[in-house]
Structure 1
Amino acid sequence: MTVKIDENELLEAKEKSVKVGAELKKVRGFALGFIIPVVLLVVWEAAVRFNLLDAYVFPAPTTILQKIIELAKEGTLWGHVGITFFRVLIGFLAGTVAAVVLGSVVGYFKWFEQLMDPLIQAFRSIPSLAWVPLFILWMGIGEASKVMLIAVGVFFPIYLNIVSGIQGVDRKLIEVGKIYHFTPLQTVRRIIFPASLPSFLVGLRSGVGLGWMFVVAAELMGASQGLGYLLVLGQNTYSPELIIASIILFAIIGKTTDYLLKSLEARALKWQDNLQNQL
């Protein structure tokens, strides 16, 4: 007796097994990322419980969690998180648009790089806090100065990665485009953009990370809401649990945004035959 095997069924079974394997890898990677934070939290909690750490200086994780829950019940937590996220989002978008426009022109035209890049690199060397008094003088202590400071922080890593990505395109690919008589627009769309996309996406991740760092400096400029404001409030009221709670919230939200951009990067670069896509 012979058993006929449907090729379509075999292909479907193979595709299912591949999908299940990919999902298991994602779950494993997600679980591995939690091992060290959980171990650190357990050690931290034990150290406070056994009086190895001063509870006033280093409150236990459970105390910090209670503080976060308390802020949530009061209804103030979401307002602080929301306004901080809004500032980072607007600053990130503004900095990204400026970096894409300027970085694309600088990367594509050599003469424009020679004209503009020295000035931009000089501005990049200026510490973030040095901009604070100038932005306050120009725009006051309102939202405009805060968003502008975040945009400045976001701009530089994205700009550098775009310029590096465009200038790093293999000249042989450009020659292939000339052989096929690509127009300049076709060359940009079909060769330069895909080849520089990995650098651009890395720049976005670096930019959003700096955006969360710069928002702290921005919210020191007379803010009455935001996670940066909670840091200052915790300092003024001698509440280390509030300070550490704000820091942890920054870490959680920052990691979440980075994870979203990393997922976007993985989807956008599926076509690449590299080590990451083989894992």
Structure 2
Amino acid sequence: MTASTAAERTEQTPPPAPARPSGDPARSPLSRPGTRAVVALVVPVLLVVLWWAVTAAGLFSPVQLPSPLSVLEAGTDLAARGELGHHIAISAQRVLLGFLSGGLLGLAVGSLLGLSRWADALLAPVVGALRAVPSLAWVPLLILWLKIGEESKITLIAIGAFFPVFTTVYYALRHVDPHLVEAGRAFGYHGLRLLRTVQLPAVIPAVFSGLRLALAQAWLFLVAAELIASSMGLGFLLTDSQNNGRTDRLILAIILLAVIGKLSDALLGLVERWAVRRWA
């Protein structure tokens, strides 16, 4: 074989594919469909088993910690009487309305302060001070202004949802790449069109981080909101069970708040993935 023939064969032979590192996410068992969901159930199942073992061993009295079966029976009883569905529906409605109103307002105010230096100088100290006010501190004032109807409850949840969205949008817009903004202006984009076309798409991941924090905060503020003379809802079920010594219902309410809050966060995560593919 001549040297020229060997060189031609070497040029025609494609280089070997680079070996994937051992830590490549594509080769991880968690990348298989359904595997991650199964793994996520391991810790909850272990906690339920530990809960059952502790109660079966009599380490706690039924008043202190009822068994998983007792909590399940309490939930079945409430569901059979039609009360459990009403508690879940009214709480979900309050969280949804408060989250939407607070999130939209946080997006608007965060955009205003993030884009305008004058608005930032005028309003940022006030918003920062209001952010430090505890949730329960708003309850007496909301009762005085809005009485004890749904408006006061939804307003309190909206307050809780406002600040995470405002904070993330405000700081994200303050750090948008200035070259990207200048490119948008070069194409004739200004004002709201520049915000909608260039700046907000650039901060989509940060916006959804704020929205997910706001949704979690809305569920936290729900319990405080349902302290305002409420007769329905998971927060009411929680406090009513405490007053009546029904620890089984109390734990049921905590579990439902955790599960429904996680499901709502998962749904928002699906919207986030779609929005990132669409705009970011």
**Aligned equivalents of 1:164, 1:268: Cα separation in 2:** 20
* Contact 1:165–1:197 (CA under 8 A) maintained in structure 2: no
* Aligned match of 1:54: 61
Which sections of structure 1, spanning at least 5 residues, go unmatched? 1-20, 274-279
2:143 maps to amino acid: I
Q: Structure 2, unaligned stretches of length 5 or more? A: 1-27
- 1:131 alignment partner, one of 109, 113, 138: 138
- CA–CA distance in structure 1, aligned partners of residues 149 and 190 of structure 2: 46
* Higher Cα Rg, which structure: 2
CA–CA separation in structure 1 for the residues paired with 2:210 and 2:252: 28
CA contact (8 A) 1:128 1:214 kept: yes
**CA–CA separation in structure 1 for the residues paired with 2:189 and 2:161:** 34
State the TM-score, normalizing by the size of structure 2.
0.85
Shift of 1:99: 1.0
Quote the residue 1:66 is aligned against: 73
SS of equivalent residue, structure 1 residue 51: coil
Aligned to 2:95: 88
1-structure distance, mates of 2:37, 2:277: 20
Tell whether 2:84 aligns with 1:77. Answer: yes
Separation in 1 of the partners of 2:232 and 2:279? 43
Shift in Å, 1:162 = 1.0
TM-score, scaled to structure 1: 0.85
Gap change, CA 1:38 and 1:108, over 3 Å in 2: same
Aligned to 1:42: 49
Residue 154 of structure 1 contacts residue 207 of structure 1 at CA under 8 Å; is this kept in 2? yes
Please state how far the C-alpha of 1:60 moved relative to its aligned partner.
1.3
In structure 1, the partner of 2:167 is 160
Q: Deviations over 1:52-78 (max 9, x none)?
A: 333321111121111111111111111
230, 233, 238: which one aligns with 1:231: 238
* Distance 1:272-1:45 versus aligned 2 partners, 3 A rule: farther
1:191 is the counterpart of 2:198: yes
Distance in structure 2 (CA, Å) of the matches to 1:186 and 1:151: 27
Aligned: 1:247 with 2:264: no
Corresponding position of 2:268: 261
- Cα distance in 2 for residues equivalent to 1:175 and 1:60: 63
Deviations 1:89-130 (A, max 9, x none): 111111112112111111111111111110001000000000
